[in-house]
Each structure stands twice: as structure tokens, then as C-alpha cells.
A and B are shown apart, each in its own frame.
Chain A
Amino acid sequence: MRDYSLTGPENAAARAKGLASAEWYRCAIPRKRMKELMQRRDGPAIRDTITWFAAIIGSGALLYLAWGTWWAVPAFLLYSVIYAGPSDSRWHECGHGTAFKTRWMNDVLYQIASFMVVREPTSWRWSHARHHTDTIIVGRDPEIAATRPPSFLTLALNALHIKNTIAELRRVVLHSLGRMTEAEKDYIPESEYPKVFRAARAWLAVYLAVIAACFAMGSVMPLFFIGLPSLFGAWLHLFFGLTQHAGLAEDTLDHRLNSRTVYMNPVFRFMYWNMNYHIEHHMFPMVPYHALPALHEAIKADTPPPYPSCWAAYREIIPTLLRQAKDPTYFVRRPLPGAQLEPSTSFAAAPAA
């Protein structure tokens, strides 16, 4: 198995092969059109944020009313999925600074969504920046969800966000003590450390307040409103997130070969804030989520055919991961329009020596 860590030999190997901070393929698009697509707006994200929080409050009220009966179980699951499912995409879009036109709105929702999805805001901002610079470059990208061979145990645990949460809580404690991990030092500049430490301490204070509330009320109910929903609703963002890159090429410099664009229904697109247009998002990360369908139309002639549904994507992903469990060199080769039909062999992934 290749070493997916950022501190192992693959990091230097990727740099030696020219795969780090490299120039990526980009579909041609006139500057005027691109400027239109990059324009920021507040309206769509304000509307979506009000809708989201209204749904959280509504399902939370149901949970509160059902508390003490068996109806609390479905109410909790509903509340969790509404709470945690979209928190990933809100964290993501606001991290890019593109969700709203008004900067403070991005920043406020980013902080709230980071807490809800259990991702420390500053560390993950930098980790995600690296994911964009070196998308699915082994040894460089800290956000490779499906390794080769895949770890089904990790994927199963992350359906409940367990592994991520344990790792994150460990880091929160570490950061609140004023320390960073070795991997983080690879992608977070030192000048950002104070922000990391401050956020970790704020998170600890919130967790302690929730625990104190449990004691004060003599009930675990507060934990079912803040804390546990991040675990029990995580399956939805894993379900969306795995469609992004799982089973596709590693170490290629073309997002059309390592990312998927999947058509989804309007409810999913609301929850996922259009990140199903994932090739488009990676190729032009500064295009806001509400403009991704238009960007898709603008470049789709130069991208592989989109997957018509989640079902179609998973019909490819599941057998691919099963096959990669036995043959880690296997990956899905996406057909490119025009002459180039396969990933360039020089960048095609090979198992590390």
C-alpha cells in the first residue's frame, strides 16, 4: 500500500515528479463568461441558510416534543441528518469564501458549520487549500477519502464520523495546549497557529458547557442537540463526498480524470450546495455554488460524460473499491473528449516501490 501520509516518502516523490503545486488542465472558457460566473451574490446563500436553520429548528422542536418516547429515535435521526448533512457543504463553500458576497457572512457561517461538521476551522481551511492545490496527489493531499486499497473499516466508522471525530477531538485537545501535529506543520504556516489554538479552546468551552448542561438538567438531552447529531447525521455527507473522487485516478494533473460530476435531485443539491458538479468546482474553485450548474453547461463538451444519478455513481464506486481491495493498481479511467482517452501514463498511479 502507498503511504498516504504527508510526512512519508510519497511527499518528496510527488514533488520530484512535478506533481506538487503543478499546472492543471483547465477547460477553455472566455474571460468575460468566467467573470460572470465568478460574481458573488448574497441572496442564494441567505435564502438557503434561513431554510437550513429553519429545518434544524423545526426538527429540533420535534425531537424536544418526542423526548421520552420512542418517537424520539426517528426525530433524532431526522434532526441529525438535517443538522450534520449540509454542515459539510456549508463549511466547504464558506471556506472557499464564495457562498456569500459579504465576507463576514462567509466567516460566521464557516465557524458555525465547522463546529457542526467537527472540523477545526483554521486547520481544515489549510488542509482544504492543499486538497485543491494537489488534488488526489498521494503524499500531498490530506483529504483522500478512499485510499488504495480502501479501508472499509475506516469508511464504515466514518459513516458515523467516528474516526474523524476521535482524530479531531484529539487535535482539539492538542491545539488547546498550544501544539500542532507534524502533518499540520506541512500545510499550515506558523503565523496561523494562534488562530488554531484559539478556536480549539473555544470548542472545548462549548463541549464543556454542553456537558455542564447535562449535569444541570440531570439528562443527556443537550448532547442529543449538540454533539451527537454530528455523528449520527454524518452518513449523508459521506454519501455525497465519496462520489467526488473515490476509485478514480491518483497522481494525475487533470480534474476530469480524478473527480466526478454527478447529476443529483434538487433536495440533494440543496443539502450538498451543488458540489455534485465536482469537476467544475475543482477546475474553477472560485465559482460560487449557485453558478456551478451554469459553469457545467459552459464546459461540459470538454469533460467526461456526467453520471446521471447517485445510483449510477455508486454502481461504479462500490465494485471499484471492492476490486481495489485486491488490486490497488486498478482505477477507473474516465473517457476524455477528443484525442486523449486515458490519463497520461507518466502520471498514472503506480504502487510505491
Chain B
Amino acid sequence: MSNAGWIETCRADEIDEEDVLRFDHGSLTLAIYRSADGKYYATDGLCTHEQVHLADGLVMGDIIECPMHNGRFDYRTGEAKGAPVCVNLKTYPVKVEGGRVLVQIG
């Protein structure tokens, strides 16, 4: 399988279950999630309400809660779950290879 557009981010074991990690790539900031059942996901790293890093927030089940105003997104789909976030988050394909989390940004 081609790895075009994929970038290597963190080690898979760097993220606790039900947690999130920030990863910067050039001007792009990502939030990389590990769900309670061990699956990995990636979204834009900044909240769509204001420029706040979601990786400082709290993962609860399938939800990432923004640390600033309680904005909530489903990190699997990027769906904004209500005020004050009204715009969905961009999501990115993710795979784990050789113990590393790869994210397709291109």
C-alpha cells in the first residue's frame, strides 16, 4: 500500500486509552486520539469555535471536549455536538504500522 500523503506521528503507546495527543506538522496541528477500545483517530487540532488546542481537553467516550468553553465533538466523525461549537472538525484517516500512528494529511 502506498504511503503517499501519510505522515508518521507519535508512537501508538504514547497515547493512553481514552486520551488525546497534540501533533504539529509544519503549520498543521493535529489531535490524535486513542479510544477506550484501542482504536486511533485524528482530527484538526484546533477547536472550530476559537483557536484552542483540543489536546488540552478531555476525552469522554467518543467525545473530545474542548478545554475552553465545553465545546464537544465526536472525534470519530468530527461532528460538532452543539453550542458553542457549530462547525464540524476535519478528520483524517489513521493507521498504525510498526507501532507508529500514521495520519493521511494529503
Identify the A interface with B (CB < 8 A): 21, 34-35, 38-40, 96-98, 122, 125-126, 129, 132-133, 189, 191-192, 195, 284-286
A98–B70 CB distance below 8 A: yes
Q: How far is the CA of A132 from the CA of B84 in the complex (A)?
A: 13
Which among B51, B60, B84 is the interface contact of A125 at CB below 8 angstroms?
B84
A126–B58 CB distance below 8 A: no
15 more contacts with CB within 8 A, not counting A35-B19, A97-B70, A195-B83, are: A21-B50, A39-B58, A122-B83, A125-B84, A126-B84, A129-B69, A132-B69, A133-B50, A189-B86, A285-B68, A285-B69, A285-B70, A286-B58, A286-B65, A286-B68
Chain B contacts for A133, CB-based, 8 A: 50, 68-69
B83–A132 CB distance below 8 A: no
A125–B67 CB distance below 8 A: no
Q: How far is the CA of A98 from the CA of B58 in the complex (A)?
A: 11
Chain A contacts for B58, CB-based, 8 A: 35, 38-39, 286
**With A35-B19, A133-B50 as given contacts, are A286 and B67 in contact (CB-CB < 8 Å)?**
yes
Question: Can you name 5 A-B residue pairings with CB atoms under 8 Å?
Answer: A38-B58, A96-B69, A97-B70, A284-B67, A285-B67
B51 CB → nearest A CB, Å: 6
* Residue in A closest to B18 when the chains form the complex, CB atoms: A35
Identify the B interface with A (CB < 8 A): 19, 49-51, 56-58, 60, 65-70, 83-84, 86
* Residue in B closest to A285 when the chains form the complex, CB atoms: B68
B68–A125 CB distance below 8 A: no
B70–A191 CB distance below 8 A: no
**With A21-B50, A129-B84 as given contacts, are A286 and B70 in contact (CB-CB < 8 Å)?**
yes
B35 CB → nearest A CB, Å: 15
Q: How far is the CA of A40 from the CA of B58 in the complex (A)?
A: 10
Q: How far is the CA of A34 from the CA of B84 in the complex (A)?
A: 23
Q: How far is the CA of A195 from the CA of B58 in the complex (A)?
A: 27
* Residue in B closest to A21 when the chains form the complex, CB atoms: B50
Chain A contacts for B56, CB-based, 8 A: 34
Chain B contacts for A132, CB-based, 8 A: 68-69
Chain A contacts for B57, CB-based, 8 A: 286
A35 CB → nearest B CB, Å: 7
Chain B contacts for A192, CB-based, 8 A: 83
Q: How far is the CA of A100 from the CA of B58 in the complex (A)?
A: 15
Among B57, B60, B68, B69: residue with most chain A CB under 10 A: B69
Chain A contacts for B67, CB-based, 8 A: 38, 284-286
